[in-house]
Structures are given as structure tokens and as C-alpha cells.
A and B are shown apart, each in its own frame.
Chain A
Amino acid sequence: MGMDNAAEEAKKIAPKKKSADADLVAVNPKGFRFIKIDKNTKSRIIDDIKGFLLGLGRWVILIGVAYVIIGPVLGIISRSFFSDADNYNTMVYMIPQSPTTERYEIAFETLNYSSTALSTIIYSLTLMVLQVLMCSMVGYGFARYNFPFKKVLFACVVVMIVIPTHTIMLPLYMTFANFDVFGIFGLIMGSSPNLLGTVWPMYIMTFFGCGLRSGLYIYIFNQFFRGLPKEIEEAAYVDGCGVWYTYFRIMLRNAIPSAITVAIFSLVWQYNDTFYAKLFNISDSTLLSKRVATLASTVGNVYKIYDPNILQLYMDAGIVLVMLPLVVIYVVLQKQFIEGVERSGIVG
């Protein structure tokens, strides 16, 4: 495209005097001039058509892919309003003939939605705050200070990203089944406490920077802090700020774009996480994502529904209820999230 333009421009400059009339004017064989197209307009028209076709192609691909993403979501939403008759009527597609909200009422009750959702959100929010604080601290330490074995330790962060938690799930399970720190708890309470079934394993691991995908967050913060000018801290240091004051009052504020990115990632992934929830056996009444997995069978037992196709409708309603808080958060923070991703150190 650029090449064509250049070539055309070169031509335009060179043979202008020679063929001015012949090139610029389309002459009808009968002798009168009917349309005047100079080269500029011609190339502009070609560019317009090219641009239009490119835009069309882009939209075709984008809409096609968007359909693959959105389609199932719309399907779930529409099916959650289906009545029993709609479900078996092959003429009904997407739009139910006799919509019902019964699925939602029963799913709401069975999930014990308001209290479960509240506790899930509190759980994810607490972990989110911990993640942002601890990972930004560690990332900052790696980005700005030199201490012995720094490179080896940072390699350990990368190891954390690369080695999936699944490899170490059994030892983690064992560790929290008999939780003890150098035998201190055992001495005080007689036996080491079993933390499985509570939310504490997650809090403890996240506090020590080893929560769900903490390695990734440390990496993101590290990249971000490395990109900030050193003068900020030097100024703070000259003004007499201590290391911690500088970090909490100055650096953390500058890190807000990447903090938002990390916050959303950690909130969403924590909310959706079922692996740790299953491993540490966190109770169903605390976590929505775990509870919804058993929704269909619970509804089937309580309401004596044995048809799996109908039970799937309750499941759909439950899934919509689970997605709801996420979608609300996403819609509210969407702009900050995308801008944060672009500006934050995710790329470095």
C-alpha cells in the first residue's frame, strides 16, 4: 500500500508536463469530456475501497469470534427462563414461549445465595487485598534493592510461575492437615490443628506470597517498578522518608495501574477458583463456585426432579447467579482494567 503510494507520487512528479491531458481526462470516443478523474481522487477511491474491505474483513472475524464467546452465555441466560414445556418444544429457540422465573427462585434458595455470595465476595476481596499488598512489596524489593542471591531468588519466583501448584498439592494438603510451626502449636494445644475445611490455608499462603498465581503478580509488579524513574525515591529519601514510608505513601500510589490489573485478576481468579477450594476442602456454604457444582443434584433430591434436562435448566440459572457479581465488577471496572493492562508492567 505504502509502496504504491510512493510510486504514484514519484510518477506524478516526473511526467507531468508530457501527458497532462491524456492522463487526467477521460475522453469519450465521440469527443466530449464526461468525467474528470485526476490521479489523486482515483487513488483516494482505491484507498477508500481497500479500507472498507479491510474494515469489513476485520468485523467479520471479530463478530464471528465474539459470537463464539457470547453465544453460550446468551444460551445459558435464555435457557434459564425456559419452562418445562419450552425445553421439549423443538420450535423454541433462544426465546422461551412461556418464560418462568421459577428456576431462579429455586436456585436462589438452594444456593442460599445472598449469604453464600457475601461470604465468597468477602473471601475473594480479603485475598485480593493481601495479594496486592504482599506481591507489590516483593516485586518492589526485587526491582529496587540489591541483596545477595537476588538473581537466584528471582529465579525462584519464575519457578513458582512455571511449576503448577498441582505438583505440590499433596504436600500442601498434608501440611495443612497437621498445621504446625516448629512444633509450637503442638506444644500449646497438645496436637497440631487441622486447618482443612476452613479458609485459613488460603489466607496463610497468600500472606506469605504463595497464593493463587502469586508468582505472576510478583512478576507484573517487578516489571512495573523497574519502569518507574529512580528519582522519585531519591527525592523521597533526600526529604527524609524512610524506606517503608516511601514504599507505602509514594511507590504504591504510583503503582495504581498495575495494582488494578493485579486486583482484578486476583479477585476474578480467586472467585472462580475450584482447585484450592477442593484441595483444602473449604466448605460449600462459604464458596459459591464450589456450591454451584452440586446445585443440580441438590435440587434433584429436594424437589424430586429426575430429568437431567430439566435439572440442567436449574444449573443454568445457578450459573447466571454465580456470574452476576463478576459481570457487575467487570462492567464497573472494565475501563480501568483495560487501561491498566496497557499501562501496567504486564509487558515491562
Chain B
Amino acid sequence: MGKKKKKFKLTLTRKRSMKGFLFVVPWLIGFLWFYLRSLFMTVQFSLSELTVSPGGGYTLDFVGLDNFIYAFRAHGTFKQVLTTSVGDMLIDVPLITFFSLMLAMLLNKKFKGRTLMRAIFFLPVILNSEAILDAMGVAASMMVGGLSSAGAEVSEATSTGVSVGYYIQMFSNLGLPSGLIEYVVGAVGRISSIINASGVQIIIFIAALQSIPGSMYEVAKIEGATAYETFWKVTFPMVMPHIITVVVYTVVDSFVNSSVVTLAYNTAFSEKNYGLSSTFSLVSTLITCAILAIVVRFIQKRTFYYN
């Protein structure tokens, strides 16, 4: 009797887990079919030379690491494009993270016109289309005296080193490290693109700030903490886990919009060099994943988990 009951119970839980598995099955099929298979195919393509046959199929000739060797030794622009993309990513990600955290804190306070302000700040998320962004870039450059055009001027000036060079000289004479100055000047030049890239991040941070229990701030106030201390001892640690989310999102987003992807796309669909294109995609993805792994581990060590 007891044995029977136990058996019945087992099948019930198994039945339940089977039903739960049914929820996941469509996605699992899709994942195996589109993602996993495609990842293997990308690796395969990058190790072969691919020729499209007239019937619609294709044939693969295994060439070993030739594509990789070609990409790093002989290709004209790949290394350069890759380094600039990675460099841009490394500069942009911390800027976007802190900028969006700051804005989220400003938008989270109660003040008149908050709804309107939030609506404006989420606008870049809505108008996030290639065509629209291109046109906006043109419009921004047409607006004389606009901040974005000022930014463009600054970055232009830094690249040619004409007018801003004087100030850079002045600050470096003051003893500031030149790396820092270049970073700040670069940040000012990028302000428009940084603002436009931080819509989703602001949303995530606002949601994170809302989830901090109000009692924590009350305690901080009673204990006599200043606003500065409250930020570093309460807000920042509580937001920390979401910084990982934001950083991951930003890194992936900036990779998707980087010039490596464009290069890979053009290599495949303009030059019809599919094997090389797969190599480009693979190398850049591996580098992105490495960056992600390092950054996430770095932040995770310093993260405090409330629950």
C-alpha cells in the first residue's frame, strides 16, 4: 500500500515537471534549431571556404585556420576596425552606466513635470531606428549652437588637434594625466550618442531604485547620514546587482552597433566571402564574451546581494 502510494506520488511530480517542460519545449526547439545549430555552422564556415552552388545549396572546402590567418595577417582593415570597436566599447560602457544611473536618480525624485520628463527621456528607446538615427544625426549637425553639434565640433577638433589642443596643453601643464584629459574630451564629444544609447539603462535603473525599500532611507536619515553617505552606503550597494544587467546590456548593444558587425555584413553580402565573414563574427563575438566575462566577474566580486 505504502509502496504504491509512493510510486503514485513520484509519477505526479514527474508528470508536473513534464508539463512544465512542455512550456519550454517550443523555445528549446527554436534554440537548438536556430541558435545552437547556427553557432556550429558559424564555426564550420570560419574553417572552410564556402561556395554557393547554383541550385541554392552550398559546398564547403575545409581550409583549416586559413581564414583566421588571413584576417589577422593580410586583411586591410579588420584589425583596425576591431581595435576601434573594442576601444569605443570600453570608453562608452562606463560612461553610459554612470550617466544613466545619475539620470535615473534625478528622474526618480518627485517633482512637477516628472511624467513629461520621463516621457522625453524614454524617447530614444522609441526612436531607435537606423533610418531615424541617421536623419537625426544630420538634423543635429544642422542645428547651429546645439549641444550635439558642439560635441561634434569638439570631437572633430580633437581629431585634428587644432583649437582644443590649446586647452589640452593647458590642462596637461597643470599636471593632469593626458589619458584622463583625452577621456573627458572624448566623453564631451560623445555626449549626444551616450544620451541616445542610455534609454533602456535609465529604465532599468529607475525600476531598481523603486525596488529599494523606503525604510532603508529612513534608517539612514535617523542615523544622521548625509546625502552623499546615503548614496554610497544605501543606494549604490542596492543598485549594484542591476549594474551587471546594465553593463551586459550596454556591451552587447554597443557591439551590435559597432563597425565590426558592419564589416562582417559587407564581407558576406557584398564581397560574398562567407568564410571570412564568419571568421570576423566569431573573433569579435569571442572578444566581446571575454570582455563580458571579465567585467561581470569584476563587478560580481564587489556586489552586495540584499536577498
Contacts and interface: CB of A to CB of B under 8 A. Distances in A.
B131 A293 contact: yes
Query: Which 6 A-B residue pairings sit nearest by Cβ, starting from the closest?
Result: A145-B20, A208-B30, A141-B23, A209-B27, A272-B129, A168-B38
B215 to A, nearest CB: 15
Interface of A: 1-3, 6, 55, 58, 61-62, 64-73, 75-76, 79, 93, 134, 137-138, 140-142, 144-148, 153, 156-157, 159-164, 166-175, 177-178, 191-192, 194, 205, 207-210, 214, 218, 243, 247, 265, 268-269, 271-275, 289, 292-293, 312, 315-316, 319, 322-323, 326-327, 330-331, 334-335, 337-338, 341-342, 344, 346-347
Contacts of B139: 72-73, 75-76, 79, 316
B41 A319 contact: no
Contact of B56 (A142, A177, A268, A316): A177
16 contacts: A58-B111, A68-B191, A147-B24, A161-B248, A166-B255, A168-B42, A174-B58, A207-B26, A208-B27, A268-B125, A268-B128, A319-B132, A330-B119, A337-B122, A342-B207, A346-B204
Q: What DSSP secondary structure best describes chain B's contact surface? A: helix
Contacts of A292: 131
A142 to B, nearest CB: 7
Given A3-B226, A147-B17, A326-B127, 20 more contacts: A1-B226, A2-B227, A138-B26, A162-B248, A166-B264, A170-B268, A171-B42, A172-B34, A208-B26, A208-B30, A214-B27, A271-B129, A272-B128, A272-B132, A274-B130, A289-B131, A319-B135, A323-B132, A337-B122, A347-B211
Contacts of A315: 135, 138
A155 to B, nearest CB: 11
Contacts of B191: 68
A160 B26 contact: no
Contacts of B131: 274, 289, 292-293, 319, 322
Contacts of B129: 271-274, 289, 322
A69 B124 contact: yes
Contact of A312 (B19, B138, B207, B265): B138
Contact of A210 (B21, B27, B42): B27
Nearest to B278: A170
B274 interface: yes
B239 to A, nearest CB: 10
Contacts of A177: 56
Contact of A70 (B21, B103, B123): B123
Nearest to A61: B106
B20 A138 contact: no
Nearest to A292: B131
B36 to A, nearest CB: 8
B1 interface: no
